[in-house]
């Protein structure tokens, strides 16, 4: 493939800004997982491999489609959710995440994500990641009657082992230990538990921002779509605009936007995230080997 001058220029700017930055704030959304090969909105090979029984039985056509499907019984709903949790815990971490880890390894950094698939958490230490929309491996009371989030990967595996068709045995449907009511996945919904775990996710992030706001900061936005700009994109724009030494880079094959006010403090790269991270990582490694960094 011919590499355009424009592409190479973009890679060079990402490299330079990464090397210069005293702190890097990464915002990762669904485009990052899509770049890793995981698409929650599509009926693809990966979906069929794990969810075929549900596709056939209920006409579900994507992972999110199943998540919002109204199952008639709790036994069927939990069979789907257990399959989902098991899927999330089992599938390998995508290459873009590994490349990002290598890019960030020698830097001060923090990651904010709206992704619920725990891919960031599988690569980066928990204290450096804020999953602000919950994650698909934890459950909560649907009340919610009490402030506690429970890890659910082991039970989900067990449920998958005991599944009959698209049902789990009634005895395995999780119930709240306090009120006896139904449980829910700990992800954004009408009953999303914004308790101490949620507040802690925000606190870690706020502390990092406070510590670094006067330094040379790079905001690196990866795959934020147009649906929910309020969690990552708009705060990144505002901080880049108002902080003295901040720079903003967005990498997105479809929706890379740079506001007019940031034209001297930012860059929008309309490219495949996986490709850009791979190439930046490769060049960074070359530089580091040569002792240039
Ligand atoms: Zn309860």
- Find the 112 Cα to ligand 1 centroid distance in Å: 29
The CA distance from 196 to 90, in Å, is 27
Question: Long-range pairs for 194-203 at CB < 8 Å and ≥24 separation?
Answer: 195/144, 195/147, 195/148, 195/149, 196/147, 197/149, 198/132, 198/134, 201/130, 201/131, 201/132, 202/130, 202/132
Predicted local distance difference test score (pLDDT) of residue 288 = 82
Strand partners, 131: 113
Tell the CATH superfamily of the 1-37+94-133+193-293 domain: TPP-binding domain (3.40.50.1220)
Structure token digits, residue 288:
């580091």
- Find the 52 Cα to ligand 1 centroid distance in Å: 32
- Find the 38 Cα to ligand 1 centroid distance in Å: 33
| Residue ranges in the chain assigned as alpha helix (H) | 5-20, 30-35, 45-58, 63-67, 74-90, 95-104, 119-123, 153-161, 196-212, 233-242, 273-289
Considering the four listed CATH numbers 3.40.50, 1.10.3470, 3.30.1600, 3.10.50, the one that applies to the domain covering 39-90+136-187 is 3.30.1600
- Find the 140 Cα to ligand 1 centroid distance in Å: 8
Structure token digits, residue 55:
């596709």
- Find the 169 Cα to ligand 1 centroid distance in Å: 21
Predicted local distance difference test score (pLDDT) of residue 41 = 87
- Find the 176 Cα to ligand 1 centroid distance in Å: 5
Predicted local distance difference test score (pLDDT) of residue 54 = 97
160 annotated to bind ligand:
no
Predicted local distance difference test score (pLDDT) of residue 1 = 57
- Find the 168 Cα to ligand 1 centroid distance in Å: 21
Domain ranges of the chain: 1-37+94-133+193-293, 39-90+136-187
- Find the 182 Cα to ligand 1 centroid distance in Å: 7
| Residue ranges in 68-149 assigned as alpha helix (H) | 74-90, 95-104, 119-123
- Find the 28 Cα to ligand 1 centroid distance in Å: 32
- Find the 137 Cα to ligand 1 centroid distance in Å: 18
127-140 per-position pLDDT tens digit: 999 999 999 999 99
- Find the 255 Cα to ligand 1 centroid distance in Å: 40
Tell me how many degrees the CA angle 19-22-28 measures, rounded to the nearest 5: 80
72 annotated to bind ligand:
no
Predicted local distance difference test score (pLDDT) of residue 220 = 98
Q: Which residues of the chain have pLDDT under 70?
A: 1-2, 292-293
């Amino acid at each position: 493939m011919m590499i355009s001058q424009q592409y190479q220029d973009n890679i060079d700017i990402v490299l330079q800004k990464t090397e210069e930055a005293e702190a890097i704030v990464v915002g990762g959304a669904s485009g990052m997982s899509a770049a890793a090969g995981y698409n929650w909105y599509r009926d693809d090979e990966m979906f069929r491999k794990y969810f075929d029984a549900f596709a056939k039985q209920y006409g579900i056509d994507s992972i999110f489609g199943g998540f919002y499907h109204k199952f008639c019984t709790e036994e069927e709903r939990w069979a789907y959710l257990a399959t989902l949790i098991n899927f999330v815990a089992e599938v390998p971490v995508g290459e873009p995440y590994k490349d990002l880890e290598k890019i960030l390894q020698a830097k001060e950094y923090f990651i904010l994500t709206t992704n619920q698939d725990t891919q960031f958490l599988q690569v980066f230490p928990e204290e450096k990641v804020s999953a602000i929309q919950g994650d698909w491996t934890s459950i909560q009371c649907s009340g919610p009657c009490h402030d506690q989030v429970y890890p659910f990967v082991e039970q989900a595996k067990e449920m998958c082992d005991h599944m009959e068709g698209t049902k789990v045995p009634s005895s395995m449907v999780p119930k709240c230990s306090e009120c006896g009511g139904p449980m829910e996945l700990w992800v954004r919904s009408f009953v999303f538990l914004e308790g101490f775990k949620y507040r802690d996710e925000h606190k870690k992030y706020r502390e990092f921002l406070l510590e670094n706001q006067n330094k040379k900061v790079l905001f690196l936005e990866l795959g934020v779509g147009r649906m929910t700009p309020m969690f990552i994109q708009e705060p990144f724009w505002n901080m880049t605009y108002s902080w003295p030494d901040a720079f903003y880079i967005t990498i997105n094959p479809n929706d890379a936007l740079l506001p007019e006010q940031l034209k001297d403090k930012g860059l929008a790269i309309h490219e495949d995230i996986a490709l850009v991270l791979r190439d930046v990582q490769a060049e960074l490694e070359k530089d580091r080997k040569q002792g240039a960094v």
